[in-house]
Structure 1
Amino acid sequence: MIDPCVSETVAIDARPDVVYGLITDLPTLASLAEEAVAMRLCKGEAVAPGAVFTGNNENSGRRWTTKCTVTDADPGRRFAFDVRHTVFPIARWQYDIVATDGGCEVTESTWDRRPGWFRKLAGKATGVPDRVAANTHHIQLTLQRLKQRAETG
């Protein structure tokens, strides 16, 4: 797999299974994220490979919905999903968890999978002309919120 467009890591003073539970609880993940306002499972009974959920997103008063397919769900280690809008690939999001003494490190990464011609249109639709800069900032915020939630219970 090619390198992600954006990737950030944070050390968290909580067990990997606790952090994984927060990340894979879709309402919790939506509450931690910057653009996502809701995530709902719509295919499958649990967050497992092949499960599909919708992501409702908002930025600067603009709203859009995506369809996300879980590709990896390895408890305590990795959660990842591919994102589409209608028929267009948008992104891959991945959370890798590595156990450390007294806690874990979590790396959140994203890959931009939009076709080149679609990027300009998507920037206008979402109000985000520089997706890499926005995702860098959003990942930093998400990881700070995850750390706070995991460490305070």
Structure 2
Amino acid sequence: MREATLVGSIEIAADPTTVYGILTDLARWERFVAETRVPARAADVRLSPGMTFRAWNRNGPWRWRTTTTVLEAVPHDRLVFRVSCLGSPVSVWRYDIVPTPRGSRVTESTRDLRGTAMVLLCLITTGVLDRAEHSRRNIELTLAALKAEAEAEQPKFS
């Protein structure tokens, strides 16, 4: 049985404004989102509620197309979006940003929405045998890359 929700968190030495700015800048996703490749026209696109975009996902030699719909985009607080494939919901992803004394704590979570038929189709399309473990690893990779991106951007004060 698939896990309903997978969660990972990381401390980032960058303020919530910086982290939120990176999360909602679609052109920057390829620098920190582990599996998704966004269209070239994503330059200067800021994610906002109701916005929908198409992207390519990849896993080694496998490639598949997804549609992402932004459900919530609350400045400096959270970003929530739903991913669909072939018109069927696949997952909901969420980033929560909490201010800390040293910057921010970012929690990324995902909930699998696939039914049995979509699980089988996704296995064939993506080459991923264990989606829960694959998503867990992608959360770790994404959060580590987001941390590096945000901390490199954060102004340093002496």
* Aligned-CA RMSD value: 1.8
Which one has a larger percent strand, Structure 1 or Structure 2?
1
Q: Give runs of aligned pairs for residues 116-127 of structure 1, distance below 5 A.
A: 116-127=116-127
Report the CA distance between 1:93 and its aligned residue: 0.6
One-letter amino acid matched to 1:90:
V
Report the CA distance between 1:12 and its aligned residue: 0.4
1 CA distance for matches of 2:32 and 2:87?
Answer: 27
Distance 1:95 1:115, change over 3 A: same
Q: Deviations over 1:89-115 (max 9, x none)?
A: 100011000001120100000010011
SS in 2 for 1:147: helix
Structure 2's unaligned 5+ residue stretches are 154-158
Q: Deviations over 1:11-38 (max 9, x none)?
A: 0000001000111111212321121122
The residue aligned with 1:104 is 104
SS in 1 for 2:17: helix
Conservation of the 8 A alpha-carbon contact between 1:26 and 1:39: no
SS in 2 for 1:7: strand
The residue aligned with 2:57 is 57
Distance 1:41 1:95, change over 3 A: farther
The residue aligned with 1:80 is 80
SS in 2 for 1:99: strand
Distance 1:78 1:147, change over 3 A: same
TM-score by length of 2: 0.88
1 CA distance for matches of 2:39 and 2:15?
Answer: 24
TM-score by length of 1: 0.90
Distance 1:39 1:75, change over 3 A: farther
One-letter amino acid matched to 2:71:
T
